[in-house]
Amino acid sequence: MQFLEFAQICEHLEGISGRLEMIEEVAAVLPRLDDEDLPVFVRFIMGRVFPDWSSKTLGVGPNLLYDAVAYVVGTKRETVREAINATGDAGLAVEHLLAKKEQTSFFIQELDLVEVYREFERMAATGGQRSQREKLRVAQGLFGNARPLEGRYLARLMLEELRIGMGEGNVRDAVAKAFEVDVRLVEHAHQAMNDLGEVAVLARRKPAELSRVTIEPFRPVKMMLAQAGTIAGQLADHGEVAVEYKFDGSRFQFHKVGDVSRIYSRRLEEVTDSLPDIAKHLMAATDHDVILDGEAVAVRDGRPMPFQFVIRRFRRKHGVDSMMEKIELVPRVFDILYLDGEALMDRPLAERRKILEETLGADVAEQFRVTDAAAAEAIYTEALGLGHEGVMVKALDSPYTPGVRGRLWVKVKPGVETLDLAVVGAEWGEGRRAKMFGSFLLAVQDQGRLLPVGKVATGITDEVLAELYTLFKDSVIARSGKEVTLEPEVVFEVGYSEIQTSPNYASGYALRFPRFVRVREDKSVDEVESLDTLAGRYRQQKNGQGSLSD
């Protein structure tokens, strides 16, 4: 497929708002793609470049994009930046700039979809000191051959935000429709393979194998997630439940085959080199080939330390040894997904737990089976006394469902309710905060789009504001008066007292008394709260079920 055709399809989809119609359109395209184009198309249409399991990243920031476009259209970086600020959309701005240039140039080489992907791979592969220069060269080459419309989507793909509203769910449905296979099989294969691109090829070539696809070592799957809920609610739904401490650390997935082990973060980045102590613990705890799910916890004198200490270690690339002396990380393993060639994700939690205890000689997180509320409340109180965040209450018959934030796992913690939201904009501060951003615009996600739900300015110390400024200053994609639009890359955890309906924000809701809690460095923007969850919380609140531990 020519990249131009891909761009035209994107443009067409951008004009459609109905979910079913979008699925229909994409489903009509998929069967005519060959086996090389198909996986690339499937990822690109979701605004992703590499398979979800892959640790590869393009590493293209707005500045590199400005420079590449400036070079191609023969102007200054500032002019590109201003053009992007004026439209508020990097894609449209690049399109306009290329349109002006097109009138003066005669020769361009047609861009092919797979070729664009290969160029992206080259970008991702460059590392070290010269990497920015090399990435720039590749980007210049791509924009140099791009027609204006292609430029729109090249720019957006490089920033990994396509803005056409084709989320994972829609693409999964389109694959099922295109190749006439059961959507549940597509979902099953997707959970195990963690790449809808490859699943699409399988759905066409060997649909019978979709049900047999299983998790494999060194190909991380998304983590199973939890909803906020209550002990009473879980007991009412399931009778008997498993209660575990909710550790305030960072999630990891540990893969081991023989002597080789790798560790992945919640965002599925490989963090093996940052966490030698976790690997050492787990290598010593079992001789089996395994995939384990757990939380890395920082301890000092036997007591858990706050999350901030853990995340520092996850990000650390240099000086790991000296950091280790200060902060010891220990694994608390609560699940097993694979043992010696056998996938365990479809087995009930109770069975997986038994296998976990038999397989791992140490580091297994405690679990309590409970049938009555008083016993569960006692564990909850004990958890808080021990310095944990609260408890997780899990259904014993639940399979492991990667990436799903369902009610099979419920988190119960005290205090204000919080939401994890994407930061999509900011406003310059006033007075002594004039050289920094003073407030931040937050958004929930809804089928691939980010919809604002309010601003947060409270709860941020001057020191943190300065850090946040450093974090965001290169992510500005548009300015208008005191407000800036930010490339959505960062997730804030924000507390609030109430959710209200509101005509002021595109989500239709607003937060009352929003308060900054922390940057969720372990979460990516596609993991932020959805509009559905927000609406659910709003309804719950209206029904008077606001308290978490009742």
In the complex, the smallest distance separating the C-beta of residue 442 from ligand AMP, rounded to whole angstroms, is 17
Query: 525: exposed, middle or buried (C-beta count within 10 Å: 0-12, 13-18, 19+)?
Result: buried
Task: Mark whether 435 is an active-site residue.
Answer: no
Q: Which of 44, 245 has the CB closer to ligand AMP?
A: 245
Supply 397's token pair. Answer: 């018959």
Q: Which of 365, 373 has the CB closer to ligand AMP?
A: 365
Out of 204, 246, 281, 352, point to the residue binding ligand AMP (CB under 6 A): 246
Contacts with ligand AMP in 366-395 (CB under 6 A)? 392
| Region near ligand AMP per CB under 6 A, out of 84-92, 93-101, 218-226, 283-291 | 218-226
Out of 50, 143, 254, 334, point to the residue binding ligand AMP (CB under 6 A): 334
Q: Which helix (H) or strand (E) holds 9?
A: helix 3-14
| Region near ligand AMP per CB under 6 A, out of 31-39, 170-178, 244-252, 282-290 | 244-252
In the complex, the smallest distance separating the C-beta of residue 245 from ligand AMP, rounded to whole angstroms, is 6
In the complex, the smallest distance separating the C-beta of residue 31 from ligand AMP, rounded to whole angstroms, is 38
| Region near ligand AMP per CB under 6 A, out of 2-10, 193-201, 238-246, 370-378 | 238-246
Residue 527 makes contact with ligand AMP by CB under 6 A: no
Out of 27, 98, 226, 494, point to the residue binding ligand AMP (CB under 6 A): 226
Measured CA to CA, the distance from residue 274 to residue 294 in angstroms comes to 16
Strand ranges, E, within 266-371: 290-300, 303-304, 328-339, 342-343, 368-370
Alpha carbon distance, N-terminus to C-terminus of the chain? 56
Measured CA to CA, the distance from residue 88 to residue 269 in angstroms comes to 30
Nearest CA among 226, 215, 228 for reference residue 255:
215
**What is the SS3 assignment for 447-460?**
CCEEEEEEEECECC
Nearest CA among 30, 29, 36 for reference residue 204:
30
Supply 415's token pair. Answer: 């205090």
Residue 396 makes contact with ligand AMP by CB under 6 A: no
Question: Of the residues 135, 177, 246, 455, which is catalytic?
Answer: 246
Residue 491 makes contact with ligand AMP by CB under 6 A: no
Measured CA to CA, the distance from residue 196 to residue 178 in angstroms comes to 13
Measured CA to CA, the distance from residue 97 to residue 107 in angstroms comes to 17
Residue 455 makes contact with ligand AMP by CB under 6 A: no
In the complex, the smallest distance separating the C-beta of residue 330 from ligand AMP, rounded to whole angstroms, is 13
Asked if 349 contacts 410 with a C-beta cutoff of 8 angstroms, the reply is no
Contacts with ligand AMP in 95-154 (CB under 6 A)? none
Residue 352 makes contact with ligand AMP by CB under 6 A: no
Query: 410: exposed, middle or buried (C-beta count within 10 Å: 0-12, 13-18, 19+)?
Result: buried
Catalytic site residues? 246
Contacting positions for ligand AMP (CB under 6 A): 223, 225-226, 244-247, 251, 295, 334, 365, 392, 411
